[in-house]
Amino acid sequence: MTRLFYLVFMCFGMINCHEGHRHGDDIDQQLHDSQIPPPSQQPGKEDIALMLNEVFTLIDKNDDKLINGNELKVWLERVHRGLIEENINQQWNYYIPEILEVHSWDTYDPEKKETVSWDQYLNMTYPEEVIKVINGTDKLEDVKSDDPNFPNYIVMYRRAVKRWKIADKNNDNVLVKEEFKDFIHPEESEHSKHILVDEAMEDMDTDKNGEVTLDEYIKHMTDVSQEEEKEDPNFWQNQQSQFATYLDKNKDGVLNKQELNEWLIPDYDRHEAEAMRMIHDADNNADQLLNQDEILKNDEYFLNLIPAEFWRRYAQTDETTTLPTVHDEF
């Protein structure tokens, strides 16, 4: 069996993820979906049931054979942290960090730490033609690239410059791993998450007047949505009502920066909200809890409760149908 786990990636590092920039919950969603193998590479229903049963016992901390909102929230946080960490490690290693003496705010003396420099990042992320345009050696309009995403690389590059500045707290133009985390996942830290709002405004506000109209919003959502999402006959109506009902808080027909902020950096706990939504959607007997049966009946819906670790271990068992025992940090 081929390794079914594939790289978890986000729109920033080594990756080719330039089809559009998603925001906020979408980023989360994308990251979480990326750990689920495509259906053709998933194990059969019975094995998925085995995995879900095993996950169930791990979520059910108080061992009452039921999952409550808090247990589910804690699990979702855990899966999320695992994904972020794995993604950071993967990207960090890709850039082949170099040991340098760095000064931090914490101590007076420099410390030897692994670092990634801006040049290293640049050279290992962007094709040479992009770097030439960036350096002014070539003009964008003169570049004959077969890659339809070429202009997007330039947008990404400009964005990377801004993100780097924010992530590089001690301003020495190299990132230590903690700084690199803010660079790749600015949404994960208080220090850097505000940049998501600027990036979203930049993406959506095509006429650059500082506000996002419904048209601008719809155009953006069309650009970043998958074909199958757009095939949904209610797609347009859903987008429109999302905009009018939830996002445009002051009902003036446009989204200002504050409204983008509330959308992308909400002050509620995302994992708690997701746990509540999951319970609401699958709680057949309406006791505000999930039992094993409710999880298994909705197995496809709960695939993202299965950590990457499990999928991977399954893939490594070859053609056998026995699931290996899980003995790790979960």
Classify strands 174-176 and 212-213 as parallel, antiparallel or unpaired. unpaired
Q: Among candidates 73, 72, 5, 78, which has minimal Cα distance to 295?
A: 72
Of the candidate spans 132-140, 204-212, 220-228, 276-284, the one that interacts with Ca ion by CB under 5 A turns out to be 204-212
Considering Cα of 212, then 214, then 219, then 225, what sign does the dihedral take?
Answer: positive
Size of interface with Ca ion, in residues (CB under 5 A): 14
Contact call for residues 271 and 28 (beta carbons, < 8 A): no
Of the candidate spans 26-34, 117-125, 207-215, 226-234, the one that interacts with Ca ion by CB under 5 A turns out to be 207-215
| Rounded-to-integer distance, Cα 278 and Cα 189, Å | 25
Residue 25 or 172: which CB sits closer to Ca ion? 172
Q: Among candidates 118, 97, 235, which has minimal Cα distance to 177?
A: 97
215 binds Ca ion (CB under 5 A): no
Residue 176 or 308: which CB sits closer to Ca ion? 176
Of the candidate spans 23-31, 52-60, 74-82, 217-225, the one that interacts with Ca ion by CB under 5 A turns out to be 52-60
Considering only 111, 207, 232, 293, the residue that binds Ca ion (CB under 5 A) is: 207
Residue 189 or 209: which CB sits closer to Ca ion? 209
Considering only 53, 137, 209, 258, the residue that binds Ca ion (CB under 5 A) is: 209
Residue 89 or 250: which CB sits closer to Ca ion? 250
The interface with Ca ion within residues 139-158 (CB under 5 A) comprises: none
64 binds Ca ion (CB under 5 A): yes
Considering only 101, 223, 232, 252, the residue that binds Ca ion (CB under 5 A) is: 252
Residue 153 or 185: which CB sits closer to Ca ion? 185
Q: Among candidates 309, 277, 303, which has minimal Cα distance to 290?
A: 277
Shortest gap between Cβ of 295 and Ca ion (angstroms)? 12
Residues whose CB is less than 8 angstroms from the CB of residue 150 and which lie 6 or more positions away in sequence, other chains included: 129, 130, 143
Binding mask 160-199 for Ca ion (x = CB under 5 A): --------x-x-x---------------------------
248 binds Ca ion (CB under 5 A): yes
Residue 171 or 234: which CB sits closer to Ca ion? 171
| Per-residue CA distances from 122 to 3, 39, 42, 128, 219 (Å) | 30, 35, 36, 10, 30
The two tokens of residue 113 are 């730490």
- Number of residues that make up the chain: 330
Shortest gap between Cβ of 10 and Ca ion (angstroms)? 20
Alpha-helical regions (H) of 168-256 = 177-184, 195-204, 214-224, 227-231, 235-241
Contact call for residues 75 and 32 (beta carbons, < 8 A): no
Considering only 62, 189, 320, 321, the residue that binds Ca ion (CB under 5 A) is: 62
Phi and psi of 254, rounded to 5°? -135, 160
Shortest gap between Cβ of 66 and Ca ion (angstroms)? 5
Residue 71 or 187: which CB sits closer to Ca ion? 71
Which residues contact Ca ion by CB under 5 A? 60, 62, 64, 66, 168, 170, 172, 205, 207, 209, 211, 248, 250, 252
